[in-house]
């Protein structure tokens, strides 16, 4: 249970940083006048994205399974973009177009894959020592 909570916290922080970078590159309608307010907005957006990604994404994947199979898995890129788009729309003060959300989803899925791989390697190494 501790490990799952640790993984969630790490993903939350990295998703917040990824969303900050993506909104700086692709987003519109956000002014970063105050750095502390900026950090809280993106930590909140990262939390929203992490929760939506862990709860809503599996449901959307199952419902869109025919499209995913027809496109040989490429539709998952659109599903990832949809998760980012919903998260950005729920976060106060952030705005991004859908296709920019798809690009952000690609970046965030790569970040999550790298983090998962690194944490799995670390866990396997710890289990090996025991």
The structure's pTM equals 0.79
Per-residue pLDDT tens digits for 19-31: 888 877 876 655 5
**Domain residue limits at 21:** 2-129
Kindly tell me if the per-residue pLDDT of 99 is higher than 60.
Answer: yes
Domain total of the chain: 1
Copy the structure tokens of residue 117.
């791989």
Mean pLDDT over the full length of the chain? 84
Q: What is the 3-state secondary structure (H, E, C) of 19-78?
A: HHHHHHHHCCCCCCCCHHHHHHHHHHHHHHHHHHHHHHHHHHHHHCHHHHHHCCCCHHHH
Per-residue pLDDT tens digits for 118-128: 877 777 777 77
Helix (H, G, I), strand (E, B) or coil at 124: helix
């Amino acid at each position: 249970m501790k490990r799952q909570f640790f993984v969630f916290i790490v993903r939350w922080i990295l998703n917040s940083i990824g969303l900050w970078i993506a909104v700086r590159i692709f987003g519109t309608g956000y002014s970063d006048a105050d750095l502390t307010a900026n950090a809280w907005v993106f930590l909140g957006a990262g939390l929203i994205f992490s929760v939506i990604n862990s709860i809503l994404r599996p449901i959307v994947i199952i419902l869109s399974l025919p499209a995913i199979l027809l496109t040989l898995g490429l539709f998952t890129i659109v599903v990832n973009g949809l998760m980012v788009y919903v998260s950005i729309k729920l976060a106060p003060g952030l705005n991004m177009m859908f296709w920019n959300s798809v690009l952000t989803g690609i970046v965030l899925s790569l970040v999550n894959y790298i983090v998962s791989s690194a944490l799995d390697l670390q866990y396997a190494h710890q289990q090996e020592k025991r």
